[in-house]
Amino acid sequence: MRFDRHLAAVAAICCLAGAPAAFAQQSETPPAADTEAGSDTREAPETAEIGVRPAYLVDQLDDGALKTKLSACLGRPMAASDWSIGHRGAPLQFPEHSAQSYRAAARQGAGVIECDVAFTADRELVCRHAQCDLHTTTDILTRPDLAAKCTVPFKPAGEDGEAEAKCCTSDITLAEFKTLNAKMDSFDAEAETAEASKGGLAPWRTTLYSPGTVMSHAESIDLIKSLGRKFTPELKSPEVEMPYEGQYSQDDYARALIQDYIDAGVPPSDVFPQSFNLDDVKFWIAEFPEYGEQAVYLDGRDETLEGFDPMDPSTFEPSMQELADDGVRIIAPPLWMLVTAENAEIVPSHYALEAKKAGLDIIAWSLERSGPLVDGGGWYYQSIADITSSNGDVLKLLDVLASTIEVKGVFSDWPATTTFFANCLDLDG
């Protein structure tokens, strides 16, 4: 997912959560593939270890029925839930889209795990949040042979301004990509050296679990499959001219994503392909109808559609009903689009009501991505910033999403929170 530039300070992060089990609809879990990502090759156990963060959030809640209900769930055995979606794995503490991040998400009970998909110079698919984020999410700038290939090689901060760099997956081959180490997403704009540019880490993140192992899309499929989890790959918007090198079209790119699941023998029911590009979703529906049935339209119209207002259905172009008529079944907006404040309470927005009216399933993104709710929560919580007073209010938001809007799932940077909530409210995902 995107919008990282809106990040603000977030609450203190509690302990690492452990390994989950799948809900009944998931297939029997095979042993994990043996990879360079780590020594843990056990199959996913039958319980999810959610750590102490959910209890911390419950403690922050105002006294009332929700706190009473959630408190009663603390200490209960937890199972994985498809309602709990690992956003890039578990990147609140692990390098995003690394094998370690995916394993952490599975252990925290994420029933579905995301690989954002970009392509390399030799048109191989890899897991990266953006095609051109290697300078912030890997150690490429400290690898002179590869750094020299970057679209914008490192330029130190100085009299001319801030430090700069732009390194893309399409700058290097898959073999070269596989030599990189994943790191926590950061870039120090005041850096005078490539090594120093790795600083600038957001205060709520940590390098304790770095470095991480980068993954090709195919490798992520093997790993997530071995963990008994489902898949939600996102086709990232290319940052190079398409067709790439005059030959590799957008349709080729979208087709390659689905083909990787076909080649791996993954059933369509286990895959939720996503894109902000509505044409990609329509392409999957037309060319791969079984996989397209669960294709997810990521809604970024707040940035692309002038005058878009989640509280004014007349600004929705296309309308929710038109999306449904075109075969779209699942829509995924950011959290703030789905809710608003009314009489000091969190209530559904007109956006949410219109989506439900059209029969669309809804997935929300991304919990625990931006700032602490005690300070308004940052970009993801902007529509309820005026009525949030504690970090525990994130559970009030989840309650509205689950009980009133009835979302199909919630992306989270720390899936232990959504796993706990799904188990406590008996959400089946």
**SS3 assignment for 40-52:** CCCCCCCCCCCCC
Extract the residue ranges of the chain whose pLDDT is less than 50.
1-43, 45, 429
Residue range 4-127+214-424, CATH number = 3.20.20.190
User: For the whole model, what pTM was predicted?
Assistant: 0.89
Pull the structure tokens for residue 340. 């608003």
Q: How far apart are CA 339 and CA 354, in angstroms?
A: 12
pLDDT at 376: 72
- DSSP-derived letter for residue 144 is H
- Domain-wise residue ranges, the chain: 4-127+214-424, 133-167+179-207
Are 105 and 415 spatial neighbours (Cβ–Cβ below 8 Å)? yes
pLDDT at 38: 38
pLDDT at 19: 33
Q: How far apart are CA 229 and CA 223, in angstroms?
A: 9
Q: Report the Cα–Cα distance between both ends of the chain, in Å, rounded.
A: 20
Are 274 and 303 spatial neighbours (Cβ–Cβ below 8 Å)? no
pLDDT at 5: 35
pLDDT at 25: 33
Its sign, for the CA torsion 388, 390, 394, 396, is: negative
CA separation, residue 395 to residues 86, 135, 195, 313, 382 (Å)? 17, 35, 39, 27, 16
Q: Strands of 215-358 (E only): list them.
A: 230-235, 274-275, 296-298, 330-332, 339-342, 345-348
DSSP three-state, residue 26: coil
pLDDT at 374: 75
Q: How far apart are CA 356 and CA 276, in angstroms?
A: 20
Q: Cβ neighbours of residue 414 under 8 Å, at least 6 residues apart?
A: 13, 17, 53, 90, 92, 93, 108, 367, 368
For the chain, the residue count is 429
CA separation, residue 220 to residues 113, 224, 264 (Å)? 10, 6, 11
